[in-house]
Structure 1
Amino acid sequence: MPYITMECGKLTTEQKENLISRLTETASEATGIPPEFFMITIKELPDTNMGFGGKTVEKTKREYLKK
């Protein structure tokens, strides 16, 4: 049974449903494995627990919104 996990920031229920649907559809098409065999999990991380470019995502978002 294929297992796909996605780690990201906070998502709405609608975004999660869309992501699960699209990941399943794309992976099924790419592998030829029926969609019902895919398991998808989404791990939400706080913006203070992720960073890039030496800054937390929280700080990057604040700076972006000031523009």
Structure 2
Amino acid sequence: MRWIFYVVATAALIASSAWFAASPDDTKWMPALASALVVWSEAVGTLALRRRRDSTTRAANDERVERG
């Protein structure tokens, strides 16, 4: 599931780089902002997946202790 974030981040970075190369001088900051937003969203998504996996693991461990 984490690979989705990497694919989207890579595609966005490639697109923003192409946009950066083709944009006029006064809008050169926009691709940098877009890239920063992609990296930030990837970090947040990875953190959310990690927390979800940790809570699922804890729930499974609690269930095993109750049965044992």
TM category (shorter chain) comes to 0.3 to 0.5
After TM superposition, the score normalised by the length of structure 1 is 0.35
Q: Which has the higher helix share?
A: 2
* TM norm structure 2: 0.34
* Bigger radius of gyration among the two: 2
